[in-house]
Each structure stands twice: as structure tokens, then as C-alpha cells.
Amino acid sequence: MMKLSQVLQNRAPVLSVLAIALLGVACSQTPPSPPHGTGGHAGTAAGGSAAHSGGSVANGGASASGGVAASGGQVAGGGNTDDSGGSGGAGDNGGSVVSTDNGGSGGTAGSAGTGGADASAEDSQPADDGGADDDGGASQGSDTASNTGDDASTEPTDADRCVAAGGTYTDKICVIDCSASGACASLVTCPNQLSCRITCGQDACPGGIECGQATGCDIACTQSNSCAGSINCAGDTCTVACSGANACHNKVSSGAGTVAITCSGDNTCASDVSCSASSCALTCSGNGSCAGSVATSGSTVIVGCTGTSSCQGALTCSAGTCAIDCSGSQSCPASVCCWAGSCTLTPSTPTCKH
């Protein structure tokens, strides 16, 4: 026992030195850094007292993708620490907090270094094809659509075609006014697929009237010597009124669905008259009217030669039903032929009958 005491007493200085060395080694090791905060409030601003060793890092500021721009966030120098604490600076990629050497509270104040858009250029740059073009205008596709619309041809309206024919478009009817003396010297034409109302005054419309492609025509030759040219009428309905003396001097022909031709003025309809229609009504009431031949056909035909010396040429009727009136003085001196299922002649029987 005495020997052990003496040994320990002799070794005491050595053990003391060893203990001090071990303590020094233990103190020189760096304790692990506490975990970063994930959304805590910002750290103590400059001038605030930081915790002593062992405090958790006050990792303020948002992460790299959430903070404000680098130029806006203020970085505090950190609080006073007992040991040397790492200063929290703004990181290049969003203000990542630098862990302290000895566990002192980080001194990051304010928002993180680079916030807003991601630091990487490829994320922040706009796509090549997105949005408006460099000048802020609409895309080229819009310009193309606009140009295509401008290049598209526009068909003329019925009103345009009527005006081009010298008329006025009213209530879907093309009105061609040739009532002035000597008006409309050239051929008067009703536009295709339109209905026309044509009025010709004294000596007007000498070049003739063409309604062969119209849907309907109402032709009035009201003054002397009007409508000296030929008249051709077709479509759904056709009405020709020759009331002026010597009007409608040339040929009058019609092939419309419903036709009414009236030669009421003296010496009107001096040339041939033909009517081929579902319903045809020809009236030669003027003295010396319908001096040429008369040829009619259709489902129902009515011919009235009531004027003195009217219907001087040959008269033929080929229809389902024919009614011919030759009651005018010296009318129908030539042959009257009726080829119809029902044929009536007043005042005498036809000279030829099928």
C-alpha cells in the first residue's frame, strides 16, 4: 500500500500534464453545427445581442428562390458573440446561411441575398416563341390572317349590279328610269337574277330591252315611239305594256312563267309577238295593233284581238286551253289555227283546227 502511494505520488505531475492535454484536445474540437432553419423569422439585425455558444442558428430570410432581389436585402454583421461567429452574408444563390464555427447565432438580418427569380440565367430568360414579338406587336400569324382577309375578293351586291345597269335598287327591285325623252339610247338590260321595273318615255329605249336572264320584268312603254327596239322577257313573271302610239315597234317575245302583254296604243306591237309561258295573256286592243304574226303556247292562253284591224298576221295557239277573241273590226283576217285540248274562237270557228 505504501508502495502504491509512493508510485502515485511520484507520477502525479505526469498525470496532471496528461489530463490537461486531454482537456485541451477536447476543447479544440468543433461542435456540430445546428441545423439550418427553414422559414424562421429573420435573424437579429446589426447591433442585436447574439446567443452564446450552444444557441441555434437564427437562419432568417427566405430560401434562394423566394427572397427579394440581391440588391435589396440588407445583411447584418451578426450579433456580438463570445466566440468568433460566422457573419451571415448574402449568398450568390439566394442567401444561404454560413454555419458558425462555435455555434453562435448567425447575424443574418433582412431578406436573403438573391431572391425573386432563380439565379440561373436559363430559368429567368423568356422563351423564344412566347408572347409578343421584340417590338411588342402582335405575332406574324395575326398579320397573315389580316392580309388574307384584305386579299379576299368581294362579290358585288344586287344593289351594286343594279346601279351598274343604270338603275336604283329599291325594295329588292331594280328600277331603271328611262322616262325622259330620248333616254337610254342603247340596249337596256336587267341584271341576271334580279327583278326590274323599266319605264321608257317618248322616243326612249330605241336600242331594245333585254330581260332574258332576269327573275321578272315590268316594262312600260308609255309615250309615243317608245321602246322602238325589240323586247325579250323571261323569268317568273313578265309584264309588257305598250300604251304610247307606235310603241313597241319591233318584235316582242316572252318565255316567262306568267306573261301579260298589252298593246293598247294605236299601231303598237307592229312586228311579231310570241308568248311561250305557263299562262299567257295577249291583248291587242289598239287600232292596228299586233300587225305581225302572233304565236302563243303554254298551259293556258288567252288572245284578244279587239282593236280595229288588229292581229293582221297569222295567229296560232298551241296550249292546253286556248281562248281567242277576234271581235275587233277587220281583226284576224289571216288564218287562225288552234292546236289545243280546248279551243274557243269568237265570233267564228278557227280556219284550221288540230
pLDDT tens readout for residues 183-219: 999 999 999 999 999 999 999 999 999 999 999 999 9
Question: Nearest CA to 222 among 204, 197, 236, 209?
Answer: 204
User: Residue 233: is its pLDDT beyond 80?
Assistant: yes
pLDDT tens readout for residues 171-182: 999 999 999 999
- Work out the pLDDT band at 242, boundaries 50, 70, 90: very high
> Any long-range contacts for 80-88 (C-beta under 8 Å, 24+ apart)?
80/49, 80/50, 81/50, 81/52, 81/53, 81/105, 82/52, 82/53, 83/53, 85/50, 88/43, 88/60
Paired with 188 in beta bridges are 209
- Work out the pLDDT band at 169, boundaries 50, 70, 90: very high
Cβ-based burial of 279 (10 A; exposed 0-12, middle 13-18, buried ≥19): middle
Per-residue cell: 332: 284576224
The dihedral built from the CA positions of residue 205, 210, 215 and 217, taken in this order, carries a sign that is: positive
CA distance linking residue 109 with residue 87, whole number of Å: 10
pLDDT tens readout for residues 312-353: 999 999 989 999 999 999 999 988 998 888 989 998 767 775
What pLDDT does 339 receive? 87
Question: Nearest CA to 209 among 233, 225, 242?
Answer: 233
Q: Record the pTM.
A: 0.58
pLDDT tens readout for residues 89-104: 333 433 333 333 333 3
**Residue-averaged pLDDT of the chain:** 71
CA angle 329, 334, 338 (to 5 degrees): 105
CA distance linking residue 70 with residue 61, whole number of Å: 12
User: Residue 53: is its pLDDT beyond 60?
Assistant: no
Does residue 12 or residue 68 have the better pLDDT? 12
User: Residue 128: is its pLDDT beyond 90?
Assistant: no
Question: Nearest CA to 59 among 18, 10, 109?
Answer: 109
User: Residue 113: is its pLDDT beyond 90?
Assistant: no
Q: What is the mean pLDDT of residues 145-153?
A: 48
Do 305 and 348 meet the contact criterion of CB atoms below 8 Å apart? no
pLDDT tens readout for residues 275-301: 999 999 999 999 999 999 999 999 999
In DSSP notation, 72-97 reads T-------B-SS-PPP-PPPTTT-PP
- Work out the pLDDT band at 74, boundaries 50, 70, 90: very low
- Work out the pLDDT band at 67, boundaries 50, 70, 90: very low
| 350 three-class SS | coil
CB atoms within 10 A of CB 29: 7
User: Residue 84: is its pLDDT beyond 90?
Assistant: no
In DSSP notation, 95-107 reads -PPPPPSS-PPP-
CA distance linking residue 33 with residue 22, whole number of Å: 23
CA distance linking residue 236 with residue 230, whole number of Å: 20
32: CB partners within 8 A, 6+ apart? none
Q: What is the mean pLDDT of residues 158-162?
A: 96
Paired with 12 in beta bridges are none
